[in-house]
Amino acid sequence: MVRYYLHKLLVFALSMLIALSLMVLSFSFLAIGLFHSSSYVDSGLRKNSETIISAVDEKLEAAAEELSVPAEMLTGAVNKNNIGIITEEVSHNFIYGYSTSFANSTELYSAFITTINDYNSKNNKKMSDGEVARIAALAVDSVNEAVGSTDTSGLTIFAFVRSRLMIIVLIVFALILIGSIVALVFLNNGRHRKFNYIGMGLTTGGVVSSASAAYIIYKGYLESYRFCAFDAYDSAVKYCVSVQLKIFLFVGVILFVIGLVMLFNNYRYFKIRKDAFIERHKTDGDDKMGDYMDNYYTKNMRTHIPGEEFEKDVKKIDFEDD
């Protein structure tokens, strides 16, 4: 009896290990696929382009006042058409863990040179090339003050994704998943019953994955957490993480459905076998009972001789006179 319960406990534990492994692996692979993609992170930054442009223009207005030049000469140099100058650099730095600095950005410098020259041309103003270069250089410094940041160098989620620890996690839980499945096969002697425990692991992993992601989103824990000091970068990272959580929720639903289908098919398989077993034994029982009764009557019934009963009755007649 003890051995039976230990066996049940062991297969249950293996089933839960399958669930845990599936959760960790699916979340980790999502993180690697998303947070290693420059285009994905860049899309989150571009959704906050208005905040970035607003912060840049605010610094440029202050710089224009210090330089005694019209603010229109500098503001608008960074716009939605060329916001990629900033977002692409920032997304690259997030992924590789570099601090963000635009002090030496030739792209920004060229953008300001063009903007200043266009302003002067439209307003019939003349400036020497040296003056234009000086103003453009100071404008680049202002942009760097606005959107340059060390936030991009130490963000935990990006650091973990590119770390050696992530590789170790993937290898360990992949081995746990494979080992648990193989152990279930051997513990059940390769019988169909192993799919019950594998299916239970899939459904459990799916339910917990979906429920945890939904709970975090519903409770707004992501919104209350602060990733970066600069609002635009913080909102961009929150967007990226929220998308990952939504995908994780969807993956959990898929795992649950696969596990449920596996359990249902396994139930149907055993039900068909059980019904066939009952029907077979019922038929065999009827046949055996029929054979037994035939054999019983054959052995125990005497051979009937016509008139035997009449003869017995005749012998009992008394022929004495009254």
Q: What is the pLDDT of residues 130-177, one digit of tens each?
A: 999 999 999 999 999 999 988 888 788 899 998 899 999 999 999 999
Residue count of the chain: 322
Instruction: Using alpha carbons, select from 135, 133, 23, 8 the residue that is nearest to residue 71.
Output: 135
Question: For residue 285, is pLDDT > 70?
Answer: no
Tokens at 149, concatenated: 């940041």
> Which letter, b or e, does each residue of 34-69 get, where b requires 16 or more Cβ atoms within 10 Å of its Cβ?
bbeeeebbbbbbbebbebbbebbbebbeebbeebeb
For residues 194 and 7, the answer to whether their CB atoms sit within 8 Å is no
- What would the pLDDT profile of 96-130 be if each residue is shown by its tens digit? 999 999 988 899 999 999 999 999 889 888 888 89
Segment 284-308 shows an average pLDDT of 53
Spatial distance between the Cα atoms of 271 and 134, rounded to a whole number of angstroms: 84
Nearest to 24 by CA among 128, 131, 174: 174
CB distance 185 to 93 below 8 Å: no
Q: CA-based diameter of the chain, in Å?
A: 171
d(CA 76, CA 149): 21
Q: Name the percent of the chain lying above pLDDT 70.
A: 84
- Summarised one tens digit per residue, pLDDT across range 13-26 is 999 999 999 999 99
Q: What is the pLDDT of residue 288?
A: 57
Cα separation, 115 vs 293, in Å, equals 110
- Coil, strand or helix at 148: coil
Residue type, 230: F
Where residue 127 falls (left for φ over 0; alpha for ψ -120 to 50; beta otherwise) is beta
The whole-angstrom separation of Cα 49 and Cα 218 is: 26
Phi and psi at 309, nearest 5°, equal -65, -40
Distance separating alpha carbons of residues 146 and 72, to the nearest angstrom: 18
Phi, psi of 225 (to 5 degrees): -90, 145
> pLDDT tens digit string along 227-281?
988 999 999 999 999 999 999 999 999 999 999 999 888 878 767 777 676 777 6
Task: Write down the pTM of the prediction.
Answer: 0.79
In this predicted structure, the answer to whether residue 284 has a pLDDT above a threshold of 70 is no
The reported pLDDT for the residue numbered 322 is 43
Query: Residue 149 forms beta bridges with which residues?
Result: 100
